[in-house]
Amino acid sequence: MDMPNLRWWGWGTLDQSYSLDGRPAFWPTLQQWLELPDESIEHEIPPVPLNDISLPPPRLDNASLAFLYKLLGKEAVRTDKQARVEHAYGKSYRDLVRIRAGYIPHPPDVVIYPADEEQIATLLAWAADHDIAVIPFGGGSSVLGGVEPEPGDRPALTLDLARLDRVLSIDPVSRTARIQAGATGPEVEAPLNARGFILGHFPQSFEFSSLGGWIATRSGGQNSIGYGKIEHMTLAVRVVTPVGIIETKDTPATAAGPSLLQTLLGSEGTYGVITEATMRIHPLPTVQDYRGILFRSLEDSIAAFRDLMQSPSLQPAIIRLSDAPETAAYAVMSHEHHGLRHLANRLIAGYLKMQGYDLTTGSTLMLLGFDGDAEWTAQQWNLALELCADHRGLSLGRMVGKSWVRERYAQPYLRDTLLGHGVMVDTLETATTWSNLIHLYEAMIKAMKEAIADTGGGPGYVMTHISHAYPQGASLYTTFLGRQVPDPDPLAKQAQWQAIKQATTEAILAAGGTLSHHHGIGRDHAPWLEKEIGAVGIEALHALKNTLDPAGIMNPGVLLAP
């Protein structure tokens, strides 16, 4: 039921990693950027062994366990240490520093794997009667505390949807597909691709996250410009709530009052359990042509990005613009070459500098791509290259695109390595209009750098890319690195992170950015939600919560702060 060989203490599976072999510039440059002590580079601190972790005993009595065994079967009810540890946290920095240290004071008391909606409905009714919290769980890749049990005395049950993993039907005429919520990215795409279709949702967590999790958090895939965010892809949903099943109608549009569908999207398991959805699908493209474009400045590249998005003739699948620090990081991460390839790279670097471009000192790199047939994509590229040239953009060809596609799902593994070497690394994301983009970018970066320094993180390193764009604006996705506080207590590391998170979030909201563009709310953003939607909006969400979940058992503390 669970994906085998998972890293319970980090990202992905044990047989995968982000190899630093052949990247000789990485550690020396990182040490310089962060002013890391030599011992941090030379010695890696591993996570505690699973056997050394002590968990509080499950709080369910024998009668409760007997009920669950009868309802689900013993193989679908787990109280063992590994299952409880794997479902205790998501994958944020705060989660990982605690789990690597073995600090898990509030794990779920039991993890269950229902096989159908009937089992889920029976379970929710039973949990409401017994005051047991229920946490829906997809792939567990939440980075905002969306799957962590709340502190307190109430028992918590994690409901893992891994057994609801099928594409139930495909309608090629209407171009829709009914899919169960527990299906992971590969489990969604493989059957669709075999029939000549694609959903097109490719978050960095694609291999491990699930359809239900995407819908519950309003996720955005890396190709959202071409295929839309998950809320644009979702035609209808079925949700099992503690008071009954909600099923929205699978019509392309409706004027039947306020949209219940849009209310359920982004609800993060607080109203019920998403069990399946009807999704809009697209013909599988025959060509995916992704290339790199280099610009002399951030201003030039943002102007080109905006023109690409506002052009009536262009339909890009992906645009991802790295600022100068992220562009420099990509250069540092590149593989070392020898012989003729090394000589060619030196000649290319010399040529770029002569033309006013430099990957390490100010230039910005755009990844631009089109999905479609060969003739159409060629026409799109002719128009796009002409537009980029108007903003002094220089095409670097397909090599950049191929490299990005090759490593697009591997980069999160690097975070595990960095954590072992005393490096703090996390991300924040937001979005705003084009006219406010530079103002928000500058305010966010300034607040983040100051907070890193103020919390003992050293000079830090902050890098941003712009993506998930629209004709009206775009998303900013920022990664920050700094030195971890030397205190081995994971709560000290959490406090350092929390101070940076708070300062940056306050700066984002003050500068007109949204609280979250595609990561959701979880526990971490819940304290700021009222600033985003207002006091009346919060009251409305509480009223809906009280209607659909009167006992308050569904993912308490997530989305709506206690």
- Where are the domains positioned within the chain? 26-160, 287-407
Active site residue 477: yes
Q: What is the pLDDT of residues 256-300, one digit of tens each?
A: 999 999 999 999 999 999 999 999 999 999 999 999 999 999 999
**Amino acid found at 497:** W
β-sheet bridge partners, residue 245: 240
Among the residue ranges 105-109, 404-408, 424-428, 500-504, the one predicted with the least confidence is 404-408
Q: How confident is the model at residue 344 (pLDDT cuts 50, 70, 90)?
A: very low
At 333, the pLDDT band (50, 70, 90 cuts) reads confident
CATH number for domain 287-407, candidates 3.40.720.10, 2.60.260.20, 3.30.70.3450, 3.40.640.10 = 3.30.70.3450
Whole-prediction pTM value? 0.96
Q: What's residue 365's pLDDT?
A: 96
Query: DSSP letter string over 504-528?
Result: HHHHHHHTT--S-SSS--TTTSGGG
- H-helix or E-strand containing 291? strand 287-295
Buried (b) or exposed (e) across 269-294, using 16+ Cβ within 10 A?
Answer: bbbbbbbbbbbbbbeebeebbbbbbb
Q: Which of 269, 276, 237, 240 is nearest to 135 (CA)?
A: 269
Please compute the mean of the pLDDT values over residues 362-366 and round it to a whole number.
Answer: 94
- Is residue 425 within 8 Å of 20, Cβ to Cβ? no
Q: What is the pLDDT of residue 561?
A: 86
Selected catalytic residue, list 227, 271, 409, 477: 477
343, pLDDT greater than 80: no
Does pLDDT of 340 surpass 60?
no
Rounded CA-CA distance 150/133 in Å is 9
- pLDDT tops 60 at residue 194: yes
125-139, 395-409, 541-555: least confident range:
395-409
Q: What is the pLDDT of residues 24-71, one digit of tens each?
A: 899 999 999 999 999 889 899 999 999 999 999 999 999 999 999 999
Question: CATH classification of 26-160 is 3.30.43.10, yes or no?
Answer: yes
Provide the token pair at 41. 């580079």
